[in-house]
Amino acid sequence: MNTMNFRNVNSTINEIRVVIFFLYVFIVLVCLVIAEIENDPTSTLPTTTLQFSPSALISSSTIRYTEKADLESIKITTFMPTLNNNSVTKITNTKNTIRYDGDQVLRVFTVNSKHRKKIKELERDGKGQKWASNTTTVDLFIKKEKIEDVKQSLTNASMDFRILVEDVQKAVDEENPPFTSEELNEFSSRKGHRLTFEHYHRLADMHGFLDYLGSTKSDFVSVHTIGQSVEGRAIKLIKISSSKPNATAFWIDGGIHAREWIASATVLYIINELVENRDNLDKEILDIDFYIIPLMNPDGYEYSHEQERLWRKNRRRSFGSFCVGTDLNRNWAYEWGGQGAGKYQCQEIYAGSGPLSEPETKSVANFIMERNSKFKAFVTFHSYGQYILYPWGHAKRLPSDSEDMDRVGRIAAAAMKQNGGATYTVGNSAALLYPAAGSSDDWAKGIAKIKYSYTIELRDTGRHGFILPASQIKISGKEAFAAIKAISKEIQS
């Protein structure tokens, strides 16, 4: 090739580079405008949601998902203005609720590494999403159109499985009955709040209940907004005070994962017992200052009520990603980004852009660190599986005082059972389930130095999974409160 040809080739390459550069700038600008308008609550532009199938996304993406990826929730919002009487009008419903008709949850038995590899393969290919797992089983959520394919490949791999949830949409439709007319009448005649333990309530009802307790029991109850979520919702904490100086403190939270509705409902039940049934409490419990957040992830929770029942993360949007959300239970500043934490925002276990990058975790961490020497116990409620878990979660190793945590955990589990509750398994979270770095109980133990730090995975063991009927709120609350009382007595002795 002569010099002339080289020049031509070079200039063509340069032209291509310039075109690619401008294309890139254009795409980035479009993304920015979309993100801006989507974030703006006053925006009146109509939106529509385009959904892509997981397999299409995976094949068109250079990212390889090694962990479970929340591909179903990947959305691109576009703007489709149409002229109607010279004005822009809505052409699609902004509340585009995701349905789960015919989708199933399978329990797959994974007794060897080949089986576990097969599960990873199915997840990677976008054929199933992990709901829960332990050392011998994996619960997989499968879209209707993939069910036959998945069942066939499990059979081909000689893997046993059974159906846990026959039709996820049916379970969703049945889990949270609407308020009856009697209840609505009662709410209007009630002076303070709308909360019940027969329904899963929205954030406004939960906060209404906390505020009601704060105003009617102001001699020992106070309500504090300790921060705001990504979308600006209040993160409310209730302090139930012993009214004693230098009292031992106990931290309780729930609802860090949006779809685990039973966690927040259970924590609200505990709050009600500690405040409204105070006369029944023993001295050891009255002498403790309780700091409680019933709902740590208000944005994700509201979104899970309105649009996507199975949403897990918060609602963080980031520059350069169409996917939304950080897993708030991988975002804590202890062994952040280690095993079981995701690097990519499209993953369900995305750990965030850095340790405590999210306002929901940061505000709690700040609050606890300002008074961490007082705290002797930390309990965070999740679902599901019926486990009482203690650190470490980031790796299969134990803190030096794990025997103390194990002993008190077993006392709590026995108390749950004695109070008519279910059977809860006690153990180290990484060993019993799987490693998950950046969780709040590891942070509470490792950084805040709170001795008794637990994650309690509430009901059930898989029959309903995340879609636990509201009729189980009371029994869940009762058994969880038995655990809290048992732990309280142990930290006071």
Greatest CA separation found in the chain? 96
Q: Which stretch binds Zn ion (CB under 5 A): 25-33, 245-253, 316-324, 376-384?
A: 376-384
Closest CA to 69 of 144, 123, 138, 7: 123
> Residues in the chain, how many?
493
382 part of the interface to Zn ion, by CB under 5 A: yes
Q: Which stretch binds Zn ion (CB under 5 A): 85-93, 161-169, 319-327, 378-386?
A: 378-386
Whichever of 54 and 255 has its CB closer to Zn ion, that residue is 255
Least distance to Zn ion, CB of residue 257, Å: 4
Least distance to Zn ion, CB of residue 312, Å: 7
Least distance to Zn ion, CB of residue 304, Å: 12
Number of residues that bind Zn ion (CB under 5 A): 2
Whichever of 385 and 409 has its CB closer to Zn ion, that residue is 385
CB 183 within 8 A of CB 190: no
Site string for Zn ion, 323-362 (x = CB under 5 A): ----------------------------------------
Whichever of 70 and 289 has its CB closer to Zn ion, that residue is 70
Whichever of 196 and 264 has its CB closer to Zn ion, that residue is 264
Two tokens, residue 54: 């997981």
Whichever of 289 and 299 has its CB closer to Zn ion, that residue is 299
Least distance to Zn ion, CB of residue 111, Å: 25
Least distance to Zn ion, CB of residue 113, Å: 26
Q: Which stretch binds Zn ion (CB under 5 A): 351-359, 360-368, 379-387, 391-399?
A: 379-387
Q: Which stretch binds Zn ion (CB under 5 A): 106-114, 257-265, 389-397, 412-420?
A: 257-265
Query: Position 186: which residue type?
Result: E
What's the chain look like in SS3?
Answer: CCHHHHHHHHHHHHHHHHHHHHHHHHHHHHHHHHHHHHHCCCCCCCEEEEECCHHHHHHHCCCCCCCCECHHHCEEEEECCEEECCEEECCCCCCCCCCCCCCEEEEEECCCHHHHHHHHHHHHCCCCEEEEECCCEEEEEECHHHHHHHHHHHHHCCCCEEEEECCHHHHHHHHCCCCCHHHHHHHHHCCCCCCCCCCCCCHHHHHHHHHHHHHHCCCCEEEEEEEECCCCCEEEEEEECCCCCCCCEEEEEECCCCCCHHHHHHHHHHHHHHHHCHHHCCHHHHCCEEEEECCCCHHHHHHHHHCCCCCCCCCCECCCCCCECCCCCCCCCCCCCCCCCECCCCECCECCCCCCCCHHHHHHHHHHHCCHHHEEEEEEEEECCCEEEECCCCCCCCCCCHHHHHHHHHHHHHHHHHCCCCCCEEEEHHHHCCCCCCCHHHHHHHCCCCCEEEEEEECCCCCCCCCCCHHHHHHHHHHHHHHHHHHHHHHHC
Least distance to Zn ion, CB of residue 260, Å: 5
Site string for Zn ion, 394-423 (x = CB under 5 A): ------------------------------
Whichever of 335 and 490 has its CB closer to Zn ion, that residue is 335
Whichever of 107 and 257 has its CB closer to Zn ion, that residue is 257
Least distance to Zn ion, CB of residue 266, Å: 13
Query: CA-CA distance, 352 to 140, in Å (whole number)?
Result: 24
Q: Which residues are tagged catalytic?
A: 457
Whichever of 115 and 257 has its CB closer to Zn ion, that residue is 257
Site for Zn ion in 39-58 (CB under 5 A): none
Q: Which stretch binds Zn ion (CB under 5 A): 202-210, 250-258, 296-304, 368-376?
A: 250-258
Whichever of 212 and 269 has its CB closer to Zn ion, that residue is 269
Two tokens, residue 283: 């001295």
Site for Zn ion in 132-161 (CB under 5 A): none
Least distance to Zn ion, CB of residue 105, Å: 16
Least distance to Zn ion, CB of residue 380, Å: 9
In the complex, the residues that contact Zn ion under the rule CB under 5 A are 257, 382
